[in-house]
Amino acid sequence: MKRSIITIGLLLLLITSVNAQKQKHLLVAKPKSLHNKNVGSFTNNKSGGKTAKALTYGFLVGLNFNRFMVADNEPANPNTVITVNPRVSNGFALGFLANLRLNENFDLRISPTAGFYERSIDYTIRTFAPTGTFSDTVINKNVENIMLELPIVVKFKGQLRGEKNRYSNMYLLAGIKPSYSMSAAKDADNELLRTNPFDVSVEVGFGLDKRYQYFKFSPELRFSFGLINALQQDNNNFSLPIRKANTFSLSLLFHFN
């Protein structure tokens, strides 16, 4: 929770700083320069119109909300785990991006990212006494990973109507994200729930491109579905009750380029 509050504060500080710089440039600009300014990802062409840049660069920051999608195994004996309940945990991401304009409607975006993830599972363990009574105990296990990610997505852009929206457009995106954990536990431990270091996810989402004089700002909502079983089966009390565990993330990203 503390990490999320700090991250949100940094995001707000960053956005405020960028807007302040934009206002500063507008105040010192000479009136005649307004006729020749570049807007976002556009440059002036020889005829006086606007031509989109083919390749642009930038950076991204964002928050993510994560959980495991699990398939349970049947309990092997009475004194064992009876339920496995994944919980939603949060994290954040920082990265760079390169955006290649393919044509008027499609872009290709690659964004090397460092993702900080936490996923949590509650285990309910039922213990039977000789008298026939039982008691339930809940044990929580967290898995924290620092992932190096390489999302490769295709954007489909649609222009918003109206003169005031001439420098804005909505977009849909879809692609794939290979990732590798830099912090996954390497040694088996009876008290740990471990994950495989490598994962591949399918990503879909939508967002808004808003072009300003010196940059383009793009808030985006993205869904990520893991394709590979992330569970490292160590045959201990915490991995045996799970047959399969795929990753899922919902991310709110802010792109600047």
The Cα–Cα gap between 154 and 197 comes to: 26
The partner residues of 101 in beta bridges, in order of sequence, read 107
Residue 79 has a CB neighbour count (10 Å cut-off) of 12
pLDDT band at 33; cut points 50, 70, 90: very low
The Cα–Cα gap between 142 and 119 comes to: 6
Which H or E run includes 24?
Answer: helix 2-28
The Cα–Cα gap between 182 and 184 comes to: 6
Question: What confidence score (pLDDT) does residue 162 get?
Answer: 58
Identify which has the larger pLDDT, 257 or 108: 108
Look at strands 168-181 and 134-149 and give their pairing. antiparallel
Could you give the 3-state DSSP secondary structure of residue 257? coil
Could you give the 3-state DSSP secondary structure of residue 106? strand
Q: How far is CA 146 from CA 39, 64, 125, 136, in A?
A: 36, 13, 30, 33
Specify the pTM. 0.76
The Cα–Cα gap between 109 and 176 comes to: 11
As a whole-number percent, the residues of the chain with pLDDT over 70 amount to 72
Least confident of 21-25, 96-100, 189-193: 21-25
pLDDT at position 30 over 90 = no
Span 24-35, average pLDDT: 41
pLDDT at position 177 over 70 = yes
As a whole-number percent, the residues of the chain with pLDDT over 90 amount to 46
Span 185-209, average pLDDT: 86
Instruction: Break the chain into its structural domains and give their ranges.
Output: 2-256
The two three-digit tokens of residue 15, written as one number: 């956005």
Question: What confidence score (pLDDT) does residue 75 get?
Answer: 62
Amino acid at position 207, single letter: G
15, 187 contact by CB (below 8 A): no
The two three-digit tokens of residue 57, written as one number: 């660069």
- Which candidate, 222, 105, 245, places its Cα nearest to that of 175? 222
Q: pLDDT tens for residues 218-227? A: 999 999 999 9
Backbone angles phi, psi at 30, to 5 degrees: -75, 145
pLDDT band at 82; cut points 50, 70, 90: confident
Provide CB contacts within 8 A for 158, sequence distance 6+. Answer: 105, 169, 170, 171
Write out the CATH class of domain 2-256: mainly beta
Question: What confidence score (pLDDT) does residue 60 get?
Answer: 96
